[in-house]
Amino acid sequence: MSGTTTAAAALRRRAAGAGANRWVVLVVLCVSLLLVAVDATVLHVAVPAVTEDLKPGGMELLWIVDVYPLVCASLLILFGTLGDRVGRRRVLLLGYALFGVASGLAALADTAQVLIVARALLGVGGAMIMPATLSILRQVFPDRRERALAIGIWSAVAAVGAAVGPLLGGFLLEHFWWGSVFLVNIPLMLVSLPVGRLLLPESKGDGKGPWDVVGALMAAAGLFGVVLGVKRLGSGGSLGSLLTVLPLVVGAALLVGFVRRQRRRRYPLVDLTMFARPAFSTSVGCIVLAMLALVGLELIAAQYLQLVLGLSPLETGLRLLPLTLAAMAAGLAGARMLRRFGPRRMVCAGFCLTAFAVVLLTALGRTDDWALMLSGFVLLGFGLETTLFGAYESMLSEAPQEQAGGAAAIGETSYQLGAGIGIALLGTVMNAAYTPGLSGVPGVPAAASASAGHSLGEAYEVAAQLGGSAGAALRHAARDAFVHGLHVTLLVSAGLLLLGAAMALRLPRVMQCEPEKVDLPAPRDAAESRVSV
């Protein structure tokens, strides 16, 4: 046997050894993702307890809830590309440690300001963990068929985390104080840190050129401004408000500057030529549209279930559970569907199925039609997860392996931006359709109607203050107006989903499974890459 053949065989043996524990690695990565996904929603049910204990002001309470996703979204590109530079495993382990420390700080916070700082640090840790999980997954599963199955499991875990958050939070609040919703993270991180250090392989990009510190900070600041502006719009901020417009304008300007800077650099932080590939750019657009529909609809559905049907928070969570279970099923079946139908038909069909589910839900009224709701939520969860799975898999497979961290960060940023835009856009549509229904209610003063037009919850409060026939009339009109607004919002969502289906026609028809180069784990004593301004 020649020397070349012997070397090639040795290389294959080393690569096989490096990937022998890849399914164990997937379990570690899924635990990481589960913690981040749970932490994004677990605080929602604890807000009343936090308000009673810490007594935050209105702005402080808003920051307690929003600072985690805001910081996380703004730093994804920074830490995703840093992982490509200094090592994805290293960034992930640092994220574990920071997440554990910040969880302890949040659990023991005795003032609103300390809790805000702790939540911000949790966002930093989450931004270090999320892109690293996808980029390491990209490395340890070089075969696209196996990687599709791994991404399906990964996405199913993400769906579980989003649903488990409120249920876990509600259980803990019934038995412990509100800080327990954060304290539960620490034991899992104490296990994940040594196990991850032992099992996860280290990997980097090609290491060419210095890391663009200025570009990374521009991306972080730009995304922070855009996401902050979008969140303010979603929470009722006006485009005429300086506090809404300024972050949007400054953030957009920084992102434009970031793009121009990357195009000029010989070794860019993010290879923007990836967007020239139809499969990559289309996948990113599909992620945005899918999340835009999902988050806005979940928010409005929760309000419908609680305020129109009068269900408790726990009953609301249980009603939404079929959506999550259907999403899990789609994630687990995604690899087989992708092989059989290909990315184009899979993503397009997912969008169309979701649009059908949304139109079906327009039949909901003021009475509890649980059978219709169950059917709609199951189709909605399965269709959206099918779309997200196909889009994520196509995006990650299309990106070069050395750019895996940057590609994963772009995907996660698209996910967060789509969620923020969805709340702002669909919330605006909902308000525009809801408010006119409260004008001219017999016996209700104009000032009371104006106050009731802000939200259904506020309308109920105004109706209780009015009392009598006027209060009953306002409550009846507000409920009818909300249901009308729900129908209009669902139809707008269906239109956006059909737009996504048309966009998905640019994806490849079949799943390409060419053999790929396997990157071996970097030596522990490898020289550090340069960092440059």
Which H or E run includes 532?
Answer: strand 531-532
| Domain endpoint, select from 186, 207, 228 | 207
| Domain endpoint, select from 154, 175, 207 | 207
Of 165-179, 282-296, 442-456, which gets the smallest average pLDDT? 165-179
For residues 257 and 133, which has the higher predicted lDDT (pLDDT)? 257
285, 164: one domain: no
pTM for this model (two decimals)? 0.74
Instruction: Specify the pLDDT at position 460.
Output: 83
CATH code: domain of residue 503: 1.20.1250.20
pLDDT tens-digit map of 469-523: 888 888 888 888 888 888 888 888 888 899 989 998 888 887 665 544 444 444 4
Instruction: Specify the pLDDT at position 348.
Output: 93
Is residue 13 one of the residues assigned to a domain? no
344, 256: one domain: no
Is residue 31 one of the residues assigned to a domain? yes
110, 259: one domain: no
367, 458: one domain: yes
Query: What is the number of domains present in the chain?
Result: 3
151, 32: one domain: yes
Is residue 168 one of the residues assigned to a domain? yes
Q: With 50 as the cut, is the pLDDT of residue 399 above it?
A: yes
Other CB atoms within a 10 A radius of the CB of residue 119 amount to: 26
Write the DSSP string, 482-517. Answer: HHHHHHHHHHHHHHHHHHHHHHGGGS-SS------P
CA 1 to chain centre: 52
Contact 396, 411 (CB under 8 A): yes
34, 178: one domain: yes
Q: Nearest CA to 53 among 134, 135, 173, 151?
A: 173
pLDDT tens-digit map of 185-213: 788 788 878 887 887 777 776 656 677 78
> Quick one: DSSP state of residue 467?
-
Q: Which domain holds residue 245?
A: 212-268
Instruction: Specify the pLDDT at position 349.
Output: 93
Q: With 50 as the cut, is the pLDDT of residue 528 above it?
A: no
Which H or E run includes 211?
Answer: strand 211-212
Is residue 492 one of the residues assigned to a domain? yes
Is residue 15 one of the residues assigned to a domain? no
476, 350: one domain: yes
- Mean of pLDDT values over 397-402: 71
281, 174: one domain: no
CA 330 to chain centre: 17
pLDDT tens-digit map of 57-110: 766 777 777 788 778 878 888 888 788 777 888 888 898 889 889 988 988 888
Other CB atoms within a 10 A radius of the CB of residue 483 amount to: 18
Is residue 299 one of the residues assigned to a domain? yes
| Domain endpoint, select from 154, 184, 207 | 207
Is residue 529 one of the residues assigned to a domain? no
Dihedral angle of Cα 392, 398, 403, 407, to the nearest 10 degrees: -30
Is residue 526 one of the residues assigned to a domain? no
Structure tokens at 527: 């020289």
198, 221: one domain: no
- Mean of pLDDT values over 19-24: 68
128, 256: one domain: no
**Strand, helix or coil for residue 319:** helix
pLDDT tens-digit map of 272-323: 777 778 888 888 888 888 877 776 666 667 778 877 888 776 677 778 788 8
